Amino acid sequence: MLILGEGGFGSVYKGTIKPADGKGDLITVAIKKLNRESLQGHKQWVSEVQFLGIVEHPNLVKLIGYCAVDGERGIQRLLVYEFMPNKSLEDHLFNKAYPALAWDARLQILLGAAQGLAYLHEGLEVQVIYRDFKSSNVLLDENFRPKLSDFGLAREGPVAGRTHVSTAVVGTYGYAAPDYLETGHLTAKSDVWSFGVVLYEMLTGRRSLERNRPRTEQKLLEWVKQFPSNSKRFSMVMDPRLENQYSLDAAMKVAKLADSCLLKAAKDRPKMSQVVETLKQIVQAADEVFPSDSSGKSFENSRIDANNLDENSTESEPTDSWKRRMAHLVKIGEHVEGVSRRRLMIMQRAKVT
C-alpha cells in the first residue's frame, strides 16, 4: 500500500477494498493505522469512531469502516475512509508544486468547509466542537469539494445550560483561539476563531505561522493588521499567486468576515451558520461582478476528470489552468476516481466502548 502520511497517531495508507456486495470495481480508500504504543492515538481513534460513525454530511469525510482487534501481537486499530484524491487545502495554498488555486475555487472551498462546521455546531442533536480546524484538515475530493477530516480531537459541546466545556488544551498552535488557550474553556466559538485564521490563509497564501519570514511577518494575524480591510493598502495582503485575478470587493468582505471571527471576546464572534450565509452572499456577489477565473471559466465548469484529459477533448472545455492542475495530480499518482462509495458499516454510539 502507498503511504500517504505519518503522525503521532500512526500512518495513513492508500488502499482498496471490495464493495459491500462483492460486485463491481474495487473502492479506493484511505486507511489510518494506529501506532500500537500511542495511548493518545487510541483515544483519538475512539473519538473518530464516535463522531464520524453517526454523522453524515457532504462536507465531512466519510468513515467507511473500522477494525479493532486485541490479540497476542497487541492491539490493532484501523480506520477506513473514503479516499480524497486532491489532498488538502493546505497543499494547494502553500505547496508551490501545485498550480495556484483560483479565486472562485478558494471561495467555494471555504464555503463548503463552513457548511461542514455549521452542521457539527448546529445540525445535530448534540453539538460537536471540531477543535482542530486548519487548512491541512480540509481535504478535497475529485471535484475539489471540501470535506473536514481528522475528528480525533472533537468533543461534545456544553449541555444542561453550561456555556463551555472545560478540557485540556489541545489543537494546533497558530489556529487555536486565545481564550481557549488561556482558560481551557472550549466552545463552538473556538472553531469560529480557527476558521477566521484559515480565511486569512486563503486570502494571503501565507501560513498562520512562518518562522522563515522576517520577524514582523512571521505571525499572519499580526502582519495583516497593517493592511485593514477598509484601507487602500488592503490589496497588499493578497496572495501574489492570484496575479490580481480576483474581486477586490469580495476579498475585502472576506477579510471583514475573518475579522469578525477573530474578535477577542468569543461571544461576539458569529455562529458558523451566520458565516455560511455571509460567504454565500460574497460568492453570489463575486459571481455577478467577477464571474470567471483567469482563463474565463468558472470553478464549477472547470471540474474535470483527470483520467479523461485530452488536448483534443471538447466535452467540458476545461480551462488551461485546471488542465494543468489535474494533469499534475495524475503525474504524481493521485488519479481522480469517480467510484460511487457506500459505507460498509453504520455504527451506533452505544456500540463504541
Best CA proximity match to 77, nearest among 119, 112, 47, 121: 47
pLDDT of residue 220: 97
pLDDT of residue 45: 73
Q: Which one of the listed residues 104, 132, 150, 191 is annotated catalytic?
A: 132
- Is the pLDDT at 239 greater than 50? The verdict is yes
pLDDT of residue 56: 86
How many C-beta atoms surround the C-beta of residue 319 within 10 A?
Answer: 21
Q: Average the pLDDT over each of 75-89, 141-155, 162-176, 321-335 and give the range with the smallest value.
A: 321-335
Q: How far is CA 99 from CA 38, 96, 241, 293, 326, in A?
A: 37, 7, 9, 13, 9
Dihedral through CA 52, CA 58, CA 59, CA 61, nearest 10?
40
Phi then psi for 175, rounded to 5 degrees? Answer: -120, -25
- Is the pLDDT at 248 greater than 60? The verdict is yes
Radius of gyration for the alpha carbons in the chain, expressed in angstroms and rounded: 21
pLDDT of residue 72: 66
Any idea which residue has 475512539 for its cell? 46
Q: Are 261 and 221 in contact (CB under 8 A)?
A: no
Q: Report all structural domains of the chain as residue ranges with CATH numbers, in order of start.
A: 2-83+328-346 (3.30.200.20), 87-289 (1.10.510.10)
pLDDT tens for residues 161-219? 676 676 766 778 899 999 998 888 899 999 999 999 999 999 999 999 999 999 999 99
**What's the CA angle centered on 12, arms 157 and 196, to 5 degrees?**
40
264 annotated as ligand-binding: no
Supply the pTM of this predicted model.
0.77
- Is the pLDDT at 257 greater than 90? The verdict is yes
Q: How far is CA 80 from the centre of its chain?
A: 18
Distance CA 29, CA 282 (A): 34
Distance CA 19, CA 342 (A): 8
- Is the pLDDT at 315 greater than 50? The verdict is no
The more confident residue out of 89 and 132 is 89
Provide the strand spans (E) within the chain.
2-7, 10-17, 27-34, 63-71, 74-82, 128-129, 138-140, 146-148, 155-156, 165-166, 185-186
Give one word for 62, left, alpha or beta, with left for phi > 0 and alpha for psi -120 to 50.
Answer: beta
| 132 counts as catalytic | yes
> First CA to last CA across the chain, in angstroms?
29
